[in-house]
Structure formats: C-alpha cells, structure tokens
Amino acid sequence: MPEKISKIIFNSISDGVFTIDKKCRITSFNNAAEEITGFKKHEAIGKHCYDIFRTEICNKRCALKDTLKNEEPIEDVRVTIISRNGCEVQISVTTTILREEDGTIVGAVEFFRDVSEIEHLKKHVDQTRTLDKIVSLNPKMQQIIGLLPNIAASDSNVLIHGPSGSGKELFAQVIHNLSPRQYGPYIKINCAALPPNLLESELFGYEKGAFTDAKRDKPGQFCLANGGTLLLDEISEMDISLQVKLLRVLNNGEYMPLGSSKTMHSDARIIAATNANLEEEISNGRFREDLFYRINVVDIKVPALRERPEDIPVLTEHFINKFRRKMHKPIRHISQQALTMLRKYSFPGNVRELENAIEHCFVMCNGTEILADHLPNNIRRYDIHSFTQSIDETDEKQQIINALRRSKGNKSKAAIELGMHRTTLWRKLKEHKLI
C-alpha cells in the first residue's frame, strides 16, 4: 500500500520528475515529465537521460552527472531541451542524490519545470524596454523600430546610415541588446578617429616585436568582440588598403595580427555605420564595391531630425526627464514659445544637437519651466521673426488633425507633439469642432 501511495504522489507532482541510476539510465519517469518532454514512460525508462533530454549541456556540464560526482544538489539551472516533436523547451532544473537507507548512493533525481512562457514574457519585457530607448512618433522610424527584433534575431551584417547625430549608435546598441549575442561583448570603434596603421593594429591586434613600441602581445577588437558585436562607426573613412583585410574577415572570419604568421578566427557580428553616401564613395574609388555588398546585407536608413519634426516635442520631453534625474533640478516643462522655436529650427546636428540644447537649458534655467531665453543663441536667432507670428486658424486645425492621426487618436501623445497641455488641446478641439 505505501508503495502504491508513493506512486500516486510521484505521478501527481506538477513538476517533471525522473530518477537515474549511477550510469545515468532513467529508472522512473512521472506524468508531468511525459507532458513536458513528449516521451512516454516506456520510451524513457532504461534510456540514458541525454537520449531523452538532448540539452546543450548534456555533453559538456550535465547537472545530474555533477550531482553524482560531487554528491551535492544543484538548484534552478536553466537549460533548453528538445522535446519529442523537435521543439525547444526551456526548463528549470534541480537535482539531488538518491540514497538507500544505509546511505549508499544508488543514483540521482531531477525535478524540472517548463519555464518557456516565463522566459518568453521576460524576453518580451526586455525587448520592450530596449525598444523604448528609441523615442519617436515618426511613421518611418516606427517602421524601422518594428523590424529591429527580426534584424537582431538574425546574425547578418547590418549597415546603418544617416546624418551625424541622428542616433545610428543607438540603433546598433539596440540590435545587440535584442540579439542572441546580448550577453557577449559589444565593442565600437570609430574608423575616422585613427590613422590607417593604428586602426589596423586596433582592429586586428599585434604580436610582441611587430613594431618598435610593441613590447607585448595586444589583442585586437575582432578578438575582444568574439561571440559579440563589433560596431565599425564611420566605416567610409577606412583606408582602402585596410578595407581589403576587413573583407577577408567578413568572408571567412579569418585575420592575422600584425607581426604574426598565425591565422586567427573571429565570430563577431559586424554592424557598420556611416553618414556618407557609399555609392558615391565607390564611384570615386574611395570604397570597395565588394566590401559594400558584404556589409550591406541589412540596410537601415535613419532619417534626419528635420524630416521628422513630430519627434521634437517627445524627444524634448525625454531629454527633460533625463537631465532632471541627472542634474537634480526641478525642471519639468518647456514653454510653448520655446518649443515652437525648437520645432522651427533645422537641427543640422540632429538628435545630438537637440539633446545638447536641452542640457544647455538645464544649465541656464533656475525655475521649473524652460523658457525661450534659456535656449542656445543659435536657435533663438534662427528666423527670429517667425517665432512671434501666430499660426492662423486653418493651419492650427490641420496641425491638430495631423498630430491626432500620427498618435492614432491618443490625445495625450498628440498634445505632447503639439507642445500643448492636454486641457488646451481639448479646448482647441472644441473650437475647431473636431469633437
């Protein structure tokens, strides 16, 4: 009777449970284990556990083998198994030793539970938080943002181009953070910041004695970025002779450090960024066409800030929140006049210039609201007469309609874009008979 009760309890446990002997052969397998793995008891019992679970650690560092070897339990190890129908299932594993009454070790037991849904939700939350770093209401930008998880999930080379200060580095960082390489290194190097010989040694490293000051071996960025992501910023500035060596790495992952005859291998994903027109650079003989096609597997075009004026209010609010936390000032708003000045300005320095402008305002402002006088001089001087002119009624109505369309009817977002308080927007909606 006790044995029967034990069997009922064993099969009633919601976690998957199985036991193995000292040779890692399965000796029992409960109902939950059947449901999670897809294997029936009669298929599992007598088999080695690695034949059933087929995890990535079976041949490297098996939790059960470690438990048998060290005679110590292991708790909450996350692994991915392959179910009977070939699907990946993420599980949490806990193991402990099985002993006879006299203390003799006869095997081990593993408790495991399916955490796929939890991991999926966690991944979704992480992706949402990562994507939230890119602040934009612009339809083109929203389209790019929507594609980022797919781009990140692949291992393809990416070319990001857009004007200086538009946020290319942010896109590269987000792609890395969303990718399977997110726990690997993320390294960025500016190809315009170093002369060709120094850039080569920085990328590929060198051996001791390769040149006069090479007093010890130094690993290059391709070595350090192994298993992660390497951002080559301003790649158009790379010397044409160095482009040949870069192409070799992209073709087969192989390179040689300076002063070495030994071939090294790198498994780094390449993201390149540029503000230049590479097709023109190719025509002028300054950029290799074969390299262009190698880095341009996935193409991301980041529009200039002047092409997405609807982003100026939301970016302004974002930077106000950022600098309020950083500089510990009580500034929470920007005046309508100051925001209008920002919206009229062309921003040749793009998002970076806007961020610098808001930081300037935080230095100059001692109150709770940024005023026009707090803005940098170049923005205040820009077409100053247009700032005092009020928008005529027809233009204002159309701007409100456009803002509501872009925000998909969300009045709070539309108010932020228009630089109005929400109650002001409601009043204007009534004035223009839009509600």
User: Domain check: are 187 and 289 in the same one?
Assistant: yes
Strands in 74-82's sheet, in edge-to-edge order, are 26-29, 16-21, 105-114, 88-99, 74-82
What is the spatial distance between Cα 26 and Cα 31, in angstroms, rounded to a whole number?
Answer: 14
Whole-model pTM: value is 0.62
User: Domain check: are 147 and 265 in the same one?
Assistant: yes
What is the spatial distance between Cα 54 and Cα 81, in angstroms, rounded to a whole number?
Answer: 6
Average pLDDT value for residue range 3-18: 79
Q: What digits encode the pLDDT tens for the residues 183-231?
A: 888 999 999 999 988 899 889 988 776 666 666 677 889 988 888 999 9
Please give the biggest Cα pair distance in the chain: 95
User: Domain check: are 180 and 273 in the same one?
Assistant: yes
DSSP string, 143-187: HHHHHHHHHHHS---EEEE--TTSSHHHHHHHHHHHSTTTTS-EE
What is the spatial distance between Cα 172 and Cα 152, in angstroms, rounded to a whole number?
Answer: 9
Angle of helix 350-364 versus helix 311-327 axis, rounded to 10: 50
What is the spatial distance between Cα 173 and Cα 177, in angstroms, rounded to a whole number?
Answer: 6
Average pLDDT value for residue range 276-297: 94
What is the spatial distance between Cα 245 and Cα 134, in angstroms, rounded to a whole number?
Answer: 34
Q: Which of 47, 81, 114 is the last residue of a domain?
A: 114
User: Domain check: are 228 and 187 in the same one?
Assistant: yes
Strand, coil or helix: 61? coil
The token duo for 67 is 């438990």
Q: What confidence tier does 125 reach under pLDDT thresholds 50, 70, 90?
A: low
Domain of 367, in residue numbers: 307-431
User: Domain check: are 321 and 283 in the same one?
Assistant: no
How far is the first Cα of the chain from the last one, in angstroms, to the nearest whole number?
A: 75
pLDDT at 317 over 80: yes
Q: What digits encode the pLDDT tens for the residues 90-113?
A: 888 999 999 988 888 999 999 999
User: Domain check: are 214 and 242 in the same one?
Assistant: yes
Query: Any bridge partners for residue 188, and if so which?
Result: 231
User: Domain check: are 141 and 287 in the same one?
Assistant: yes
User: Domain check: are 313 and 425 in the same one?
Assistant: yes
Here the contacts of 364-367 (C-beta below 8 Å, separation 24 or greater) are 365/329, 365/331, 367/330, 367/331
Q: What digits encode the pLDDT tens for the residues 270-280?
A: 999 999 999 99
User: Domain check: are 76 and 97 in the same one?
Assistant: yes
Average pLDDT value for residue range 150-169: 94
Task: Give residue 328's pLDDT.
Answer: 93
Residue 259 gets the label, from left (phi > 0), alpha (psi -120 to 50) or beta, of left
Number of domains composing the chain: 3
Angle of helix 139-153 versus helix 168-178 axis, rounded to 10: 40
User: Domain check: are 224 and 334 in the same one?
Assistant: no
Q: Which of 114, 131, 153 is the last residue of a domain?
A: 114
Q: What digits encode the pLDDT tens for the residues 362-420?
A: 999 999 999 999 999 999 887 454 444 444 445 778 888 888 888 888 887 787 777 66
CATH code, 227: 3.40.50.300
Which residues have CB under 8 Å from 131's CB, separation 6+? 145, 148, 149, 174, 178
Task: Give residue 386's pLDDT.
Answer: 46
DSSP string, 38-58: ---HHHHTTSBHHHHH--TTT
Measured CA to CA in angstroms, residue 69 lies from 61, 73, 74 at distances of 12, 11, 12
Q: Which of 239, 270, 303 is the last residue of a domain?
A: 303
The residue whose two tokens read 């006069």 is 212
Task: Give residue 390's pLDDT.
Answer: 42
User: Domain check: are 298 and 311 in the same one?
Assistant: no
More confident residue, 147 or 115: 147
CATH code, 406: 1.10.8.60
Task: Give residue 322's pLDDT.
Answer: 92
Measured CA to CA in angstroms, residue 152 lies from 142, 189, 419 at distances of 16, 20, 34
CATH code, 88: 3.30.450.20
User: Domain check: are 90 and 220 in the same one?
Assistant: no
Lowest mean pLDDT across 14-23, 160-169, 394-403: 394-403
